[in-house]
């Protein structure tokens, strides 16, 4: 089998006495949408930070196209095509929407005119085309999430790490974002997403990893992974799986 | 990015260039010369502080190095004044790069960065006050030699035009930075370093480059000071007064804008002169006013005069337009 | 190596000044520990307090220790007013603004004192007198050095750091000459910030 685009190999992360990531190994295939789910505090964002270079692992390696990228700083990883968004959005608050996205576009473009033009295009893809000259700080939560995605997109990533990009959005807003994400994957961008919004995970992801207490407890196609009794337990508590199947069918 | 065009800059410089033609008063000319000097030094600070968001409280380190290197080369080694000036600029840039490399590598930001820059300036001041090469407590006097080759002139006007040329160059440099990829990266670093890194900005390198450019521009001011006043000592070169004026001008005029330092320098210097007129020449009073202005600007006009003007423009535009504000989303 | 006859008094002297430095740093570290702001005006306020004590002695014949009893609550009120009416509203919570505002305050206070009282050194004629040291910027940096060395927010660190710095200054003055005494402190400050910003005892910088 061909080398996956991203491979995480036996990664541990300790913060003092706390083991946030416990022997995690996973592989992300190119061109697919992979989801990383699990209860709060499971270590998902920590894992993202390790993959994207913001945190070094205590143990273990990360490989990109077979090359060891463990511990490489974020800006070098971005230049390799690995770009992340942040769970708590991090806009360039003092700049306009257009300027925000342009900074992403500058990753592969030196010319300001080119970067501005590319940024405008990306903006319309995510539906921010009419808000180019607005200050980023004036956007709503949904707008800022879109800005976060747009800025990352403008950097033309090969692997896009989306950290809870749908959190805090109402159902309509979610329904607008999902096709945008699918379109990205259709265009060839590999996506690894942390998500809590299950409907999105079910409809978007081709492969799911479930993380609980720092450990991968299940993986597979969404329906399979989500139906796994261990996953149900992780979300709903000990004994829940048994209770649910006794009540007739497990829905998450 | 919004901001003035080269044409705007040329216009402003052209207007300022007429000052020596409109007045014969040495007092007035001196006022403008010193104001332009502060504008230059402030523009240096502006690159790192205004655009880069790294507030240095020790820009005297670069001003003083530019001054001392030039003075020492001229007086102790007989180097031509113009070459000494250029080398002073280079020396200041080097000090900037060194301090930048040390501080940014350690990840120092915000208050810690401000403190460390202050400490560096103080270290240099103390060293300069005792080292023989800088003349220790006595300082260095440049020998009078009123020839253009020696970067000295019989009348004041040529000094004025030279500092104006330097200011013009600094305006153009900042304008070019504003419209370049480096400039985009620089403000990204100012706004959010993590987010900048996530999209490929090498924040440490960007900050270092900004620091070096910033130091070079400020050092040029130091080199000019030495030629104009023909004297330098540790208190003038590395003292808090210049570190404060270096940041006050851009903050008052408009932090992170091309013309901010120039506007701010003129305003601050005018305030200084008014203070002297009203209350006499006592030491310290002008700095009291400056400190007060700093607090007031931060409190009421954080984007400086340029910011206030921009606000007025927006309000005026809103009054004229009849289209209601659209909802954001 | 100098003989103990010279070294020991220098160290004792250093400990003495160091204890004073420690007290100063204590105030600074308290502010940082609670508010997480760095008060640039600390040194200026200290200078103002020193002048107040000096004039209390000059005009009222008040022993500085007694004056301290009166001045402490007075400066407490002053500090409260500054935070409530100047620093708080002007800065609106942003770190960068607090930096500038306290710098502005420092400049205002120091130079008001300079304007009002001139730059001469003042000495108190008491049995246990010691000279008023170089004022202004130096004190701020010394205090910060101690705080950074001992660790932001650490009370023990401030006191221990103070003693340490006092001795460093004294020994530097001894070996390098009086005027270079303080340079040891600033160099130490830079080194600590560059290599161990957490300090020896405190929290993460």
**How far apart are alpha carbons C137 and C49 in whole angstroms?**
15
Check whether A80 has a pLDDT greater than 50: yes
Nearest to A143 among B179, B199, B328 (CB): B328
CA C46 distance to own-chain centroid: 7
Check whether C169 has a pLDDT greater than 70: yes
**Could you count the other beta carbons within 10 Å of the beta carbon of residue B11?**
12
| Yes or no, beta carbons of A78 and B191 under 8 Å apart | no
**How far apart are alpha carbons B6 and B172 in whole angstroms?**
7
Q: Does B123 touch chain C (CB under 8 A)?
A: yes
What is the average pLDDT score of chain C? 76
Contact A184, A160 (CB under 8 A): yes
ipTM: 0.89
Nearest to B284 among C114, C183, C190 (CB): C114
The pLDDT of residue B324: 59
**Could you count the other beta carbons within 10 Å of the beta carbon of residue A88?**
9
Contact A70, A58 (CB under 8 A): no
Averages of pLDDT over runs of 10 residues in chain B (329 residues) are 84 94 91 97 98 96 97 94 96 97 85 89 91 88 89 92 97 96 96 95 96 98 96 93 95 95 96 86 82 91 90 84 55
Q: Does B131 touch chain C (CB under 8 A)?
A: no
In chain B, positions 197-236, which contact chain C (CB-CB < 8 Å)?
none
**How far apart are alpha carbons A242 and B59 in whole angstroms?**
69
**How far apart are alpha carbons B126 and C164 in whole angstroms?**
21
Nearest to B115 among C119, C144, C187 (CB): C144
Mutant choice from B178, B198, B307 vs A, greatest count of A C-beta within 10 A: B198
Contact B265, B38 (CB under 8 A): yes
Check whether C196 has a pLDDT greater than 80: no
> What pLDDT, in 10s, does the model give residues B76-111?
999 999 999 999 999 999 999 999 999 888 878 888
What distance in Å separates residue B150's CA from the closest CA in chain C?
35
Nearest to B199 among A93, A107, A112 (CB): A107
SS3 A68: strand
Structure tokens given for C128? 């246990």
Residue count of chain B, please give it. Answer: 329
Nearest to B191 among A86, A94, A134 (CB): A94
**Could you count the other beta carbons within 10 Å of the beta carbon of residue B21?**
8
- Around B231, how many Cα atoms within 13 Å sit in the side-chain half-sphere? 6
Higher pLDDT, B225 or A247: B225
Contact A155, A83 (CB under 8 A): yes
CB pairs under 8 A between A and B: 93
Q: Does B62 touch chain C (CB under 8 A)?
A: no
Higher pLDDT, B95 or C18: B95
The pLDDT of residue A111: 94
Check whether A135 has a pLDDT greater than 60: yes
Sorted by where each begins, the domain ranges of chain C are 4-195
The pLDDT of residue C25: 82
**Residue in this structure with the two tokens 């060891």, named with its chain if needed:** A68
| Yes or no, beta carbons of A110 and B194 under 8 Å apart | no
| Yes or no, beta carbons of B200 and A155 under 8 Å apart | yes
Strands A59-64 and A6-15: antiparallel
The winner for highest mean pLDDT among B82-96, C38-52, C72-86 is B82-96
Q: Does A92 touch chain B (CB under 8 A)?
A: yes
Higher pLDDT, C166 or B64: B64
> What pLDDT, in 10s, does the model give residues A206-219?
999 999 999 999 99
Nearest to B187 among A95, A112, A115 (CB): A95
> What CATH number matches the domain at B6-327, 1.20.58, 1.10.10, 1.10.3470, 3.30.160?
1.10.3470
Residue count of chain A, please give it. Answer: 252
The pLDDT of residue C125: 54
Q: Does B288 touch chain C (CB under 8 A)?
A: yes
Check whether A151 has a pLDDT greater than 50: yes
> What pLDDT, in 10s, does the model give residues C102-135?
889 888 888 887 777 766 655 655 544 343 444 4
Q: Which residues contact A210 (CB under 8 A, 6 or more apart)?
A: A37, A38, A216, A217, A218, A219, A225, A226, A228, A230, A231, A234
Sorted by where each begins, the domain ranges of chain B are 6-327
| Yes or no, beta carbons of C187 and B290 under 8 Å apart | no
Contact C205, B117 (CB under 8 A): no
A-contacting chains (≥3 CB pairs under 8 Å): B
B-contacting chains (≥3 CB pairs under 8 Å): A, C
| Yes or no, beta carbons of B329 and A154 under 8 Å apart | no
Chain C partners within 8 Å of B302 (Cβ): 97
Q: What is A140-199 written as a DSSP string?
A: -HHHHHHHHHHHHHHT--SEEEEESTTTT--HHHHHHHHHHHHHHHHTT-EEEEE---HH
> What pLDDT, in 10s, does the model give residues A25-75?
999 999 999 999 998 888 999 999 999 999 999 999 999 999 999 999 999
Nearest to C107 among B290, B296, B299 (CB): B290
Check whether C34 has a pLDDT greater than 80: no
Chain C partners within 8 Å of B131 (Cβ): none
Q: Does A144 touch chain B (CB under 8 A)?
A: no
The pLDDT of residue C84: 83
**How far apart are alpha carbons C99 and C96 in whole angstroms?**
5
Q: Does B13 touch chain C (CB under 8 A)?
A: no
| Yes or no, beta carbons of A90 and B200 under 8 Å apart | no
**How far apart are alpha carbons A226 and A213 in whole angstroms?**
17
Chain C partners within 8 Å of B283 (Cβ): 114-115, 119
What is the percent of chain A with per-residue pLDDT over 70, rounded to a whole number? 96
Chains A and B touch (3+ CB pairs under 8 A): yes
| Yes or no, beta carbons of B294 and C179 under 8 Å apart | no
Nearest to A75 among B179, B197, B329 (CB): B197
Q: Which of A97, A108, A14, A102 is nearest to A58 (CA)?
A: A14
pLDDT confidence band for C1 (50 / 70 / 90): low
**Could you count the other beta carbons within 10 Å of the beta carbon of residue B326?**
9
CB pairs under 8 A between B and C: 133
Q: Does A103 touch chain B (CB under 8 A)?
A: yes
């Amino acid at each position: 089998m061909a080398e996956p685009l991203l491979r995480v190999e036996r990664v541990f992360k300790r913060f003092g006495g706390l083991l946030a990531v416990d022997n995690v190994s996973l592989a992300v295939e190119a061109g697919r949408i992979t989801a990383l789910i699990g209860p709060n505090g499971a270590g998902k964002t920590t894992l993202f930070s390790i993959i994207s270079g913001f945190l070094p692992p205590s143990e273990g390696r990360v490989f990109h196209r077979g090359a060891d990228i463990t511990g490489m700083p974020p800006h070098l990883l971005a230049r390799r095509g690995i770009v992340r968004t942040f769970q708590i959005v991090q806009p360039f608050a003092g700049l306009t929407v257009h300027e925000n996205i342009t900074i992403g576009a500058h990753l592969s473009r030196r010319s300001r005119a080119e970067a501005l033009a590319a940024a405008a295009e990306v903006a319309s893809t995510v539906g921010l085309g009419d808000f180019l000259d607005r200050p980023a700080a004036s956007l709503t939560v949904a707008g800022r999430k879109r800005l976060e995605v747009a800025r990352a997109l403008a950097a033309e990533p090969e692997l896009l790490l989306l950290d809870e990009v749908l959190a805090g959005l109402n159902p309509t807003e979610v329904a607008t974002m999902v096709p945008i994400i699918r379109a990205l994957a259709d265009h060839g961008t590999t996506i690894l997403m942390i998500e809590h919004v299950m409907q999105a995970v079910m409809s978007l992801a081709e492969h799911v990893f479930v993380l609980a207490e720092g450990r991968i407890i299940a993986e597979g196609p969404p329906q399979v992974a989500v139906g796994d009794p261990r996953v149900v337990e992780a979300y709903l508590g000990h004994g829940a799986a048994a209770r649910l199947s006794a009540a007739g069918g497990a829905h998450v | 990015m919004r901001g003035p065009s080269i044409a705007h800059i040329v216009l402003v410089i052209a207007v300022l260039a007429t000052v020596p033609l409109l007045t014969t008063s040495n007092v007035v000319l001196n006022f403008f010369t010193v104001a332009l000097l502060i504008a230059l030094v402030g523009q240096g600070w502006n690159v790192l502080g205004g655009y880069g968001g790294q507030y240095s409280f020790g820009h005297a380190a670069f001003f003083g190095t530019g001054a001392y290197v030039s003075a020492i080369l001229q007086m102790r080694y007989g180097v031509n004044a113009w070459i000494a000036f250029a080398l002073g600029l280079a020396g200041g840039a080097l000090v900037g790069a060194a301090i930048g490399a040390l501080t940014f590598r350690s990840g120092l930001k915000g208050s810690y960065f401000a403190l460390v820059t202050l400490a560096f300036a103080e270290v240099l001041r103390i060293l300069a006050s005792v080292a023989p090469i800088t003349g220790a407590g006595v300082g260095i006097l440049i020998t009078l030699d009123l020839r253009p080759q020696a970067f000295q002139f019989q009348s004041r006007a040529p000094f004025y035009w030279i500092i104006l040329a330097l200011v013009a160059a600094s305006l153009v440099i900042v304008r070019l930075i504003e419209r370049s990829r480096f400039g985009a990266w620089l403000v990204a670093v100012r706004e959010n370093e993590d987010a900048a890194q996530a999209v490929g900005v090498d924040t440490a390198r960007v900050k270092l480059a900004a620091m070096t450019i910033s130091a070079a521009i400020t050092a040029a001011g130091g080199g000019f000071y030495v030629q104009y006043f023909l004297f330098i000592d540790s208190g003038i070169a590395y003292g808090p007064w210049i570190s404060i004026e270096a940041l006050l001008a851009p903050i008052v005029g408009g932090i992170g804008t091309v013309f901010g330092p120039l506007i701010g320098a003129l305003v601050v210097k005018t305030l200084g002169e008014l203070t002297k007129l009203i209350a006499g020449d006592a030491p310290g009073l002008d700095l009291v006013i400056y400190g007060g202005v700093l607090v007031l600007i931060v409190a009421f006009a954080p984007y400086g005069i340029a910011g206030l003007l921009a606000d007025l423009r927006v309000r005026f535009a809103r009054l004229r337009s009849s289209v209601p504000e659209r909802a954001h989303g | 190596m100098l003989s103990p006859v010279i070294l020991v008094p220098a160290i004792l002297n250093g400990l003495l000044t160091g204890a004073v430095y420690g007290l100063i740093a204590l105030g600074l570290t308290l502010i940082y520990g609670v508010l997480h702001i760095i008060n640039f005006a600390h040194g200026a306020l200290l200078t103002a307090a020193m002048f107040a004590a000096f004039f209390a002695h000059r005009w009222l014949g008040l022993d500085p220790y007694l004056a301290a009893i009166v001045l402490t609550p007075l400066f407490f009120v002053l500090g409260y007013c500054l935070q409530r009416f100047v620093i708080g509203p002007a800065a609106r919570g942003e770190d960068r603004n607090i930096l500038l505002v306290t710098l502005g305050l420092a400049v205002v206070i120091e130079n008001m004192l300079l304007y009002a009282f001139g730059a001469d050194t003042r000495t108190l004629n008491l049995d246990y007198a010691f000279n008023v040291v170089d004022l202004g910027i130096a004190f701020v940096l010394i205090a910060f050095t101690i705080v950074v060395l001992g660790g932001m927010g650490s009370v023990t660190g401030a006191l221990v750091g103070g003693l340490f710095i006092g001795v460093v200054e004294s020994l530097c003055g001894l070996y390098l000459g009086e005027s270079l005494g303080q340079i040891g402190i600033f160099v130490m400050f830079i080194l600590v910030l560059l290599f161990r910003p957490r300090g020896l005892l405190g929290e993460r910088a």
